[in-house]
Amino acid sequence: MTVLYVDADACPVKEEAVRVGERHGTPIRIVSNSWMRLPESDLVERVIVPEGPDEADNWIAERAGTGDVVVTADVPLAARCVKRGALVISPNGKPFREDGIGMRLAMRNLNTHLRETGEIREGGPAFTKADRSRFLNQLETIMRAAKRLSTEQK
């Protein structure tokens, strides 16, 4: 059975993910380091992990697998989940795929280095309505694909 995992800390599309998950009747695990207000749903399970670096990432990566969907902006987490067979999408609607994850990790590491050395100061681009719309469309497509994979696995 497909499970939708949401890396909730700083995720701008929690409500949208819940709506799509509900439409598909999929269990939804919203994982964070602290309590936060979430949409009400019988399908939503709030998972609060201990404080600490990568605790939420580790919790998701240890459980997500083939036929599951993960929503995260964290490139290393996405890489771990893709390696385990999960379908992964960023909050701006861009999917993480096995054939491109290496380049995204390299770019993330380069940007981190450039920020640390002061070469660049700003973060990424602002989250837009177009990003939210792309996320909804792509998540719908990915959920259908995940459900097919989950069914084929049985």
- What is the per-residue pLDDT for 98? 77
- CATH at 82: 3.40.50
- What is the per-residue pLDDT for 134? 96
Global confidence as pTM:
0.87
The domain total for the chain is 1
- What is the per-residue pLDDT for 102? 67
- What is the per-residue pLDDT for 41? 92
Domain residues for the domain of 122 are: 4-153
68 and 4 in contact (C-beta within 8 Å)?
Answer: yes
* pLDDT tens over the chain, length 154 residues: 999 999 998 899 999 999 999 999 999 999 999 999 998 899 999 999 998 888 999 999 999 999 999 999 999 999 999 999 999 999 999 999 877 676 666 666 666 667 677 777 776 678 899 999 999 999 999 999 999 988 887 5
Classify residue 53 by its DSSP letter: T
Tokens 């990568």 correspond to 54
